[in-house]
Structure 1
Amino acid sequence: MASKIGILDMIPRDYASSVREGFNNSTRLAQVADKVGLQRYWVSEHHSTPAVISNSPFISVTHLAANTENIKIGTGAVIMNNLSPFQISENFRVLHALYPNRIEAGIGHTLESEVNFQVDSGLDMAHKMDYREELLDTYRFMNGRFDGEDPRRKLHALPLDFSQAPPLTIMVSSLNNVKFIAENGWGLVYGLFITGDRKECEEVIRVYHENFVPNEHRRKPEATVAVYGVSAYDRKDIKPLNIALNEWIKIFPSDKRNMLQLMSLSQAYDEAELVGKDWEDPYRDYKVSGTPRQVQAEMRRMQKSLKCDDFLMINQLSGFKQRRDFIEILGDVSLY
C-alpha cells in the first residue's frame, strides 16, 4: 500500500550550525524520505525567522526535486500575501515542466499577526484582493480558465507545453474558506500544528468531505492533517526532544523571530532534568509523540477519529540524526 505520510520541512537550523548545513541537511532528509517511500516532501514559507531558513520555497523545491527521484515535492504553503496569483502560477508551471507529475502546489494565507507585522514594518504587501478571488485567479492562471469576456484570458502563465498544471492544495487553520475549497475540488491541509484544536480539525474535515466537488485534477477529496511529530529509536530521547520542540511551538505564533536556532539535544536533556518525572506535555495536542509503535497507534487513532486521508508530519526535531531517524520510523508506519 502506498504511504499516506509526508514530511513538512521548515528547514531548521540546529544549534551551532551554519545556514549551508541547514540546506544540506534538508536535501539529505528529502533523499531519505524518498528512499523509505514516503508520499511527499513539502517545504514551508517563513520570513525573517533565524531558526528556520525556508523563506524561498520555490527555490528550495527546485533543488529538492533535482536531488530526489520519485517522491512528490511541494510547498506547504506558499503564502498568498507575498506574491501575485500570476507569479505563483508561473512558478508552479515552470516547476511542473521541469519535474512532470512530481510537483504539488500548496498555498496558504499568512497569520493575521504576520500581516500586522508587515504593515508595522512598512512592508504592506496586501494585494487589496479578496483571498478567495486570489485562489480562484491562481487556479485560472495555472489552468487557462478565464472566460471569453475576461481581459486576462490573453495573459498566459507559461510554459504551455504540457496538458495539466500541478494540483492545488490549500492550507487552513480554521473553518474559514473550507466549504469554498471543497466546492472547487482542491486539496485541503489542516494545520493542527498551528491550533492544537483536534475538535476543530475534525469539523473542518467533515465540512470539506461533505461539500467536495471533483475537478479535472482531483476526483476524490484529499484532507491532510499537518502535525508535529516526535519519535526516536532510543526511548530516553523522546522526552528531551519534546521539550526542545515545545520551545519552538511556544514562540511560533508571536515571537518566532527571537529564536536563533533549535535547542540542542544536550540542552534539552538538561531541561528534562529540571522539569522532573511528573512533567506533562502542554502541547501534546499539537503533535504525535512516542515510541515508533506508539506513533503508529496514535496516527491510526487520528486517522479514524478525524477521518483524514493523509498526514504531513512537521519534522522540527533537534539534530540531523534525530530528524533522519524520525523519517525512517515514519517509513515503517502502516496506516489503514
Structure 2
Amino acid sequence: MKLSILDQVPISKGMTSTEALANSVKIAQLGDKLGYERMWFAEHHNMTSLASSAPEITAAYVAAKTERIRVGTGGIMMMHYSPLKIAEVFKTLAALAPGRIDFGAGRAPGGDGLAMTALASGRRPEMNEQYDKLEIILRLMNEQQTGEAVYDAVVAAPFKIQLPQAWLLGSSGQSARQAGAAGVGYSFAQFFNGQMSKGIFDAYRNAFQPSYFMEKPEIITTYAVCVAETEEEAEYLSMPMQIARLNLMRGKLTQGISPEEAKDYPLTEMDKMILQQNRSLMLVGSAKEVAERILYEQEYYGFDEAMINSNLYTVEQRLNSYQLLAEQLIK
C-alpha cells in the first residue's frame, strides 16, 4: 500500500529547533530511500514544542534534499494568508520540483488566539468562508477566472507550469463533501479524534468531481504510530507521546520528555483514565502488529493511503519506526 509521513517537526526536551529541522531532513531522506509516497509538514504557531511554523519553506528545502518522494504541506492554514500568495507559493514550489509537490490545505488556525491575532496583524482573524477561499486558490493556480474582480485582475506566477496535487484536510468529516466537490484529495486526521467512518469517505466519493488537481477520488488516513522491535518496547517508547497528548488536553504545550522520564511521570487517577481513553488514538506495537491493523482498516474503511506521524523522543527511534513499518507495508 502507499505509505507516507506527516512531520510536525517535534522538539524534544534538550533539543534545539535547528536540530529538530535537521531531523526532518534525515527522515525525508530515509523515506525517499524506502519508497514512502510523500512527506507533509504541519503548520503550528506559538509553540516551543514544534518547529513547523512555515511548512512551505521546510517543504522547499526538503524537496531539494531528496530525489523522488513527494513533499508538501499537511496543511497550510488558509485563514492566515491571501489566496494569491498561497497560489504563487505553491506554483513556485511546483515549478522547482515538477511532479513532486502537494498543496495540502487546512481550515484550522494551527495555533491559539494570540497567534491568530498576531498573524492577522492585530485584526480579527478571517475564520469564515474557508471553502470559498480554497476554490479561489485552486482557480488562481489553474489560471482560471475566479469571479472576483480583485483576483481576476492579476496572474498567479509562475505561469503555465505543472501544478501541484491539491488536498483538503479534515478531522470530523465536515470537509469531506467540500473536498469531493472541489475535485481534490481528502486527508483525514484519524489521530485527532479517531472518528474515521465509511460514511465520511462515501460522502467524499459521492461528491467527487474530477479536476485538474485530481482525476479520481483519493483518501489519506493519518495515524499516530509508535513501532519498535517488540510490543513491549513500543509501549515503553510511546509514553512520551501519550503524555504530550495529555498535557495538550490540559492546555500545556510541553517539549517531549524521554521514555525514562515518562515511565516515572506523576499521574493522577484521572490522568491514567484519560491516557487509557486516548490509547485508541495511537497505533503502538511491533511492525507486524501495526501493519496488520492498518491493512485491516484500509480494507474496512476503504482509504487509499496511510500517513504516519511518529513523534518519538529521539530521531533514531523515529527513523527505526519508519524503517520497520516500511518493511511490512511497502512492497
**C-alpha distance after superposition, 1:153-172 (max 9, x if no partner):** 2311111152x311210001
Aligned-partner Cα distance in 1 for 2:114–2:206: 34
2:325 corresponds in structure 1 to 330
CA–CA distance in 2 between the matches of 1:249 and 1:232? 20
Deviates more, 1:283-292 or 1:57-66: 283-292
RMSD: 2.8
Q: 1:205 offset after TM fit, Å?
A: 1.1
Q: Residues 48 and 54 from structure 1, CA distance in 2 versus in 1: closer, same or farther, beyond 3 angstroms?
A: same
Q: Report SS of the residue matched to 1:290.
A: strand
CA pair 72-125 structure 1, distance change in 2 beyond 3 A: farther
Pairing 1:1-336 to 2, within 5 Å after superposition: 3-110=1-108, 114-115=112-113, 118-119=116-117, 123-124=122-123, 126-127=125-126, 130-146=129-145, 150=149, 152-162=151-161, 164-198=162-196, 201-252=197-248, 255-256=251-252, 258-259=253-254, 261-271=255-265, 281-334=276-329
Contact 2:3 2:329 in 1 (8 A): no
Partner of 2:264, secondary structure, is helix
In 2, Cα distance between the equivalents of 1:112 and 1:274? 29
Give the partner amino acid of 1:325: N
Partners of 1:204 and 1:263 in 2: CA distance: 35
1:110 and 1:128 map into 2 onto residues whose CA distance is 8
Per-residue deviation, residues 34-64 of structure 1 (Å, max 9, x unmatched) = 1111111110000111111000111100111
Structure 1 residues 125 and 190 mapped into 2: Cα distance closer, same or farther (>3 Å)?
farther
Aligned letter for 2:79?
N
- Unaligned regions of 5+ residues in structure 2, if any? none
Shift of the alpha carbon at 1:193? 1.4
User: Distance between the aligned counterparts of 2:147 and 2:43, measured in 1?
Assistant: 35
Residues matched between the structures, number: 327
Percent identity of equivalent pairs: 25
Contact 2:172 2:195 in 1 (8 A): no
Cα offset, 1:129, TM superposition: 5.5
Q: TM-score normalised to the size of structure 2?
A: 0.90
- Cα shift readout 1:214-268 (whole Å, capped 9, x = no counterpart): 1123111111111201111244321122221112222345625x31x11112213
Give the direction of change, closer, same or farther, for the CA distance of 1:210–1:251 in structure 2 (3 Å limit): farther
Which shifted more, 265-274 or 324-333? Answer: 265-274
CA drift at 1:330: 2.2
1:150 is displaced (CA, Å) by 4.5
Question: TM-score, length-normalised on structure 1?
Answer: 0.89
Query: Which runs of no fewer than 5 residues in structure 1 stay unpaired?
Result: none
Contact 1:197 1:285 in 2 (8 A): no
